[in-house]
Structure formats: structure tokens, C-alpha cells
Amino acid sequence: MPACATGSTRGADTVVMFLATSPHLFPVICEQLGAAGLNTPRIRVVLEKPLGHDLASAQQINRIVASVFREDQAFRIDHYLGKPAVQNLSALRFGNALFEPLWRRECIANIQITLAEGIGVGTRGDFYDRTGALRDMIQNHALQLLTMIAMEPPPSSDADAIRDEKLKVLKSLKPFTPQSVARDVVRGQYKAGTIDGKAVRGYLDEAKVPPDSRCETFVALRTEVQNWRWASVPFYLRTGKRLAEREAHIVVNFREVPHPIFPGANRANQLVIKLQPEDGLELHLMAAKGSGPSELLAPVSLDLDFDKAFASERVGGYERLLLDAIAGRLNLFVRSDEQEQAWRWVEPVLDAWARDPNGPRPYAAGSWGPAASSALVARDGCTWAEEQ
Ligand code: BG6
């Protein structure tokens, strides 16, 4: 529903309109706001996801919004960008000198982004069935995280300096072909299973879901960022409903030491960026257990809990985004060209699925998705975090 807030910047009142409506209403609302003269520079519009259903509908919305408002008056929400843990990604990379020299293909073997949910589709069956996990979570949240992990250091913290770099990452993503969709993308749909000891129904038995639906509730995919920094480093993205746990994290797997001199197991270093439910960092290292020539290495980890460290200063994701919209800070909002490029990248997957006679692979509620998801990473000699 549209809502309105006022605030004051540099002495002039600012009006923020929050459009949390079905996307097909964005154009008419914006046109009418324009017709009523409610598009002066003091007016801002916040556009809530979903921002279109595909590239063409996103472009149409953007065209009409742009005919009424300047780009810097349009605040496209991706609520993941409001999460403190996600803002911490920029702090980690660009507020510390430690990681940046290692943040490249020479030192990193692969990167995994997991956005796992325990919940099912609940009462949103009709919306979800027209949407699916690729549009609902990958096109926006997972790709935004990927851009923040893979982007070059921006020259400043200006919104456009950051968004220019994120756009470059989206433009560098390896395009999908029908062959690579078949090889590198796994889609699944949950069947009945058990979560937290309780039996839960399968997707096809959810309210407002057609009994023959081919909608995916799980996606795992492998991609690459085709530039000098990341050439041939696999980026794995994974999301799903009714998975074993609600857990969002990014795992950066470093390469193994080039010449191991200690006997026994040598595990490669790993940085786990925990996004939710905890907000923290784990750095997995090797340490000597004993002393002397036969000393054996053992894995140890440095564990930082940001919720605990900054509890009193944290605001919720939406609160942060709305405060930023009132203050006119665009850093955590998605620019139209970023959003369209993300659609451009996912569309070949949607097209290939539409032509594929096989539907999504079944997986039991409470599992980590179809077995093909593990096989996808195993092909490169990797495992998902929970399999380690
Ligand atoms: C929304 C999706 O964008 O994100 C939902 O439409 C999903 O399907 C939600 O459940 C997940 O958000 P969070 O913050 O709970 O991870």
C-alpha cells in the first residue's frame, strides 16, 4: 500500500512516498503523482520489490518512473541491502587493508552464497507460484550480495561510485546458454518432509498452488565473474524454501598452501561471513596442536559476533533503508541499470526452463535441496558448508 513520510533536509521539507503495491500499479501511481505535480525535487519514491517480472516489465516500470522522477528520486528497495550484516561486507572489504590483497583469483578457490529458509510459501502460494525462487531471491538478493563480494574498490563512498562498480560485476557475469543452464543450474521443488521435528506438507499441497505446478522453490547455480580479478573462480549461489535451517552466509574458500611442510591434514583457510540468523565472521585457520618436529596442525577459528559487539547501535533493515530514503542516501538502493542487468542475466535461465520438458527436481522438506545441488559443486571438487 502506498504510504507517505516527511522529513527535512537542508531546511526544506522532503516527502517520501513508499509504494509497496503490486508492480503493475507503479506506472499508473507515478504518472498520477506527476500529473498532480507531486514530482518536485523534494519528492522521493520508494519502490518495493518485486520490481517487475522480467526484463521487459522492469524496463517498462523504469521508463515510466524516469518520465516522472529523476533517477536520484527513485529508491528501489532490496531489503537485504538494509541488513547490518550486508553493510558489513563493504566495511570488511574496504575498511580493512587485510583482505583486499587476497581478494582475487590467485588466493581464492571459490565463493559460495547461501540464502536458506526453513519456511514454506505460507499464504503467498499464488504470488510465489508466478514468481519462483530465481525471481524471488536470486535475481535480487543473491546477485546484490555477489556484486558486493566481487566489485572493485569504488573510488569513494558516493552512491553512484558504488553502483557503477556493482553494475560492472553484473555485466561481467558469464552469460547462460541452454547448455550451461542444463549443466550449471539446479532447480528443485519441496515435497513433504520434517522440519524441527514437525511434519510439513509439500509445495503442491500448499494453499493456492496449482496441483501440477512446475514452480521452483530451490535454485543452486554456478557462475563466473569474467574479469582479471576473478577469471575461472566459481561463484555458487543457492537459495530455497523448506530447507534444513534458516541460514544466510557467504563462504570464501581460500586456496590451499602451495607447498605443505607440516605432516597431517592441511585444511585451506576459509572465511565465513554470517548474515543471518547470526551476524558475524568466522575465519578458519590452521594452528599447531603441540610442539616439536612431529607437531600436527589442527583447525581453529576466530569468531566475531557483531550482534553482540554493536547491539545497542543496530537498527532493523527496513528502518535503516527508510531513514536513508528520508535522508536522500542512495547507497543502499538499487539503480535501474543494475536491476535491468540482473534481469538480463537471469532471463536465459527462465527461457531454458520454459522449454525444458523436465520440471524441478524433488527434495524433501528439511533437507538441503536436491542431490544434484551437491553434485554441482562436487564436479569442481567442492562441498557446501554443511557437508564439510
Ligand atoms: C523476500 C522474498 O524478498 O525475502 C521472500 O519475497 C523471502 O520469499 C524473503 O522469504 C526472505 O527475507 P529474509 O530477510 O527473511 O531473509
Among 10-14, 157-161, 197-201, 361-365, whose mean pLDDT is lowest?
Answer: 10-14
CA separation for the pair 185, 346 (Å, rounded): 11
What fold is seen in the domain 1-77?
Answer: Rossmann fold (3.40.50)
Tell me: pLDDT of 2 over 60: no
User: Residue 246 and residue 120: Cα distance in Å, rounded?
Assistant: 11
Q: What is the DSSP string of 62-86?
A: HHHHHHHS-GGGEEE--GGGGSHHH
At 11, the pLDDT band (50, 70, 90 cuts) reads: very low
Q: Give the SS3 label for residue 195.
A: strand
Provide CATH 3.30.360.10 ranges for the chain.
81-314+336-387
Residue of minimum CA distance from atom 5 in ligand 1: 136
Q: How far is CA 333 from the centre of its chain?
A: 14
CA 300 to centroid of ligand 1, rounded, Å: 33
Q: Which is catalytic among the residues 24, 79, 141, 249?
A: 141
Long-range pairs of 228-233 with CB within 8 A, sequence gap ≥ 24: 229/103, 229/104, 229/105, 229/150, 229/152, 230/104, 230/105, 230/150, 230/172, 231/105, 232/105, 233/105, 233/108, 233/109, 233/110, 233/111
Express as a percent the part of the chain with pLDDT over 70.
96
Q: Which residue's alpha carbon is at the smallest distance from atom 6 of ligand 1? A: 136
User: Which tens digits make up the pLDDT trace of 91-117?
Assistant: 999 999 999 999 999 999 999 999 999
* Mutation test residue for ligand 1: of 117, 206, 209, the one with most atoms within 8 Å of CB: 117
Name the CATH superfamily, with its identifier, for domain 81-314+336-387: Dihydrodipicolinate Reductase; domain 2 (3.30.360.10)
Calpha distance 197→366 (Å, rounded): 9
C-alpha torsion angle, residues 335, 64, 18, 240 (rounded to 10): -60
Give residues (CB < 6 A) around ligand 1.
Answer: 49, 117, 136, 248
Per-residue pLDDT band at 7 (split at 50, 70, 90): low
Q: Is the pLDDT of residue 217 over 50?
A: yes
141 catalytic? Reply is yes
* C-alpha of residue 58 to centroid of ligand 1, in Å: 20
CA–CA distance, 332 with 318 (Å, rounded to integer): 11
151 Cα: distance to centroid of ligand 1 (angstroms): 24
Flag whether pLDDT at 311 surpasses 90. no
E strand or H helix at 112: strand 108-116
Instruction: Please tell me the distance between residue 136's alpha carbon and the centre of ligand 1 in angstroms.
Output: 8
What is the average pLDDT across 287-305? 81
What's the whole-number mean pLDDT along residues 225-239?
Answer: 98
Alpha carbon of residue 188 to chain centroid: 18
Residue with the smallest CA separation from ligand 1 atom 4 is: 137
Q: Indicate the pTM of the whole model.
A: 0.95
Residue of minimum CA distance from atom 9 in ligand 1? 137
User: pLDDT at residue 9 above 50?
Assistant: no
Query: Is the model's pLDDT at 302 over the cut of 70?
Result: yes
- Name the more confident of 313 and 322: 322
Does the structure show a pLDDT above 50 at 191?
yes
The residues that bridge with 286 in the sheet, in sequence order, are: 299
Weakest mean pLDDT among 156-170, 273-287, 308-322: 308-322
Distances (CA, A) of 64 to 15, 30, 341: 20, 7, 18
Q: Where in the chain is the domain with CATH 3.40.50.720?
A: 1-77
Q: How far apart are CA 339 and CA 140, in angstroms?
A: 8
pLDDT range class, residue 294, cuts 50, 70, 90: low
Looking at residue 260, the DSSP 8-state letter turns out to be -
Q: Is the pLDDT of residue 18 over 50?
A: yes
